[in-house]
Amino acid sequence: MTTTHHLNEQMLLGYSAGVLPEAFNLVVASHLCLSDDARAMQCCYDALGGAVLNKCEKEKMSLNALSLTLQQIKTCPCDTQAPQICTGIFPEPLQKYVGDKPEALRWRSLGKGVRQAIIPTAKGATVRLLFVPAGQSVPDHGHRGTELTLVLQGVYVDHGNRYGRGDIEIATPKTTHHPIAETGQDCICLTATDAPLRFSRMLHRLLARLLRL
Amino acid sequence: MTRTTPLWEKPDAIAGVVTYAAGKPSRKDAKTLTDSASSEPNWSDLVIRVRDSQDTDAFALLFNHFAPMVKGFLMKSGADATFAEECAQDVMVTLWQKAAQFDPTRASAATWIFTIARNRRIDMFRRQNRPEPTDLPWGPEPEAEAADALALQQETRKLSAALDALPAKQKDIVKRAFYGELTHAELAEETGLPLGTIKSRIRLALDRLRAAMS
């Protein structure tokens, strides 16, 4: 079983290299807003990217490339907007997708008070918000792929590990987990998985059937 | 060795941009332009000059050094020469526009330019959003910034040397990952790179920032 409270190297490198699906990027970016330790680690991987860039062979630019670019910057204003530090339980990258109010989301019931809201992203992985009432367990779910879970509110316990706001759990296909929200506060998580979508599974089945014919 | 003529006053170093510099006050302190450890210009200082005083001479030096590199990087990532050149220009324009976000205590110039080029690549090849963490403002004390920035540059050089020293296979995986050739599932669990020291540097800078913000 591979579970952890932090991002692993694979995810950090993937995020820096820009090869993660959008759904994973959203969870990672949200996590970075909540943990300076993770943010510092992320900067290291970006520095690795900088080192790779530095070792790239230079390709000659056209003679007028610089003057064209100088003309362009003469007309484009510098971005001087001060960064806004967000309040509320949703980190800023997530707010860009769903706004800042959990109650304004279109939640769909999964039974026993557990609700989910799927956030539309590009293909490759899916991401959703999960609401689990205090003391309630998350319905059993297996995963075929990798699943990233970031806690935004409350605490859940899984196999004796406690996950609170800002903590991240990485589950692999081998992981069986039964997260239970602690009593006291409802738990809200942001969770992404790269398991195939239903559509592609159907297509797969259809193809399999056709091939047998 | 001390440089007597500041780089931006050498006509060959900034060919074609002299007209843009006309009438603009330029700093005469050559120390800010060159790194004592090498004969290369201090790229971070040049970005700071763009950031703090919209200095087009500094921008031209950055362009001549980094644009061909970014073009090479994007071609490695699968772009053809024309498209890569167009994107490299976009990346440099973004550097100009977003210079206010540059914090030399957390990223070297090359690191920061890499992140812009990477985002441009995601944009052009995958047409996806790229969620990013909230940007943090940079610290208010220029002196602390200069010392921290220098320390970070040293750590960045060490990291680069460590990358060179990796076994060929591991180095190849890291490079291919950054060229966007591997999916996240194909990435190695461990690169074995010593990231501890550079991390504590950046962590320190972040702690200072947080303290200044509160």
- How many of the other CB atoms lie within 10 Å of CB of A175? 17
pLDDT at A206: 64
Q: What is the pLDDT of residues A116-164, one digit of tens each?
A: 999 999 888 899 999 999 999 876 666 678 889 999 999 999 888 899 9
B154 belongs to a structural domain: yes
pLDDT score of B21: 38
Residues A187, A198: Cα–Cα separation, whole Å: 27
pLDDT band at A203 (very low <50, low <70, confident <90, very high): low
Minimum mean pLDDT range among A24-28, A139-143, B17-21, B69-73: B17-21
Q: Does B212 touch chain A (CB under 8 A)?
A: no
* B184 band by pLDDT with thresholds 50, 70 and 90: confident
Residues B129-165 as b/e (b if ≥16 CB within 10 A, e otherwise) read bbbbbbbbebbeeeeebbebbbebbebbbebbebbee
Average pLDDT, chain B: 80
Interface contact B38, partner A, CB < 8 A: no
Which of B17, B180, B199 lies closest to A40 in CB terms?
B199
Residues of chain B contacting residue A18, judged by C-beta atoms under 8 Å apart? 118-119, 121-122, 130, 180
Looking at the complex, report in whole angstroms how far the Cα of residue B7 sits from the nearest Cα belonging to chain A.
17
Look at residue B1 and tell me if it is in a domain.
no
Residue B179 has pLDDT above 90, yes or no: yes
DSSP A197: P
Q: What pLDDT does residue B32 have?
A: 45
In a domain, B135, yes or no: yes
Boundaries of every domain in chain A? 1-54+87-213
Name the 3-class secondary structure at A58: coil
> How far does A183 lie from chain B, in Å, by closest CA?
30
Q: What is the pLDDT of residue B38?
A: 57
Residue B160 domain-assigned (yes or no)? yes
Residue A176 has pLDDT above 50, yes or no: yes
Using a CB–CB cutoff of 8 Å, tell me whether B163 touches chain A: yes
Is pLDDT above 80 for A83? no
Measure in Å the smallest separation between the Cα of B28 and chain A Cα atoms.
23
The candidate with the shortest Cα–Cα distance to A135, out of A184, A168, A176, A178, is: A184
User: How many residues are recorded in chain A?
Assistant: 213
Q: What is the largest CA-CA distance in chain B?
A: 54
* Domain spanning A1-54+87-213: CATH 2.60.120.10: yes
B151 touches chain A (CB under 8 A): no
Domain presence at residue B2: no
| Domain presence at residue B44 | yes
Q: What is the ipTM of this complex?
A: 0.85
* pLDDT at site A124: 85
Count of domains forming chain B? 1
Domain of residue B187: give its range. 7-213
Whether pLDDT at B178 is above 70? yes
What percent of chain B is modeled with pLDDT above 70?
A: 77
Are B92 and B67 a contacting pair, CB within 8 Å? yes
The tokens for A108 are: 């769909």
What distance in Å separates the CA atoms of residue A126 and residue A166, rounded to the nearest whole number? 20
Amino acid at B85: E
Note whether A191 and A130 are within 8 A (CB).
yes
Cα–Cα distance, B101 to A33 (Å, whole number): 16
Maximum Cα–Cα distance for chain A, whole Å? 67
The residue of chain B with its CA nearest to that of A7 is B189
Q: Between these two residues, B198 and B3, which has the higher pLDDT value?
A: B198
> Sheet harboring A168-171: ordered strands across?
A108-111, A114-119, A126-132, A187-193, A147-153, A168-171
Chain A partners within 8 Å of B99 (Cβ): 78
Q: In this structure, what DSSP letter does residue A88 have?
A: S
Cβ neighbour number for residue A171 with a 10 Å cutoff: 24
Mean pLDDT of chain A: 85
The answer for residues whose C-beta is within 8 angstroms of residue A138's C-beta and 6 or more apart is A114, A130, A132, A156, A178, A179, A180, A181
| The two structure tokens encoding residue B145 | 């910034």
Q: Do A33 and B133 touch (CB under 8 A)?
A: yes
pLDDT band at B139 (very low <50, low <70, confident <90, very high): low
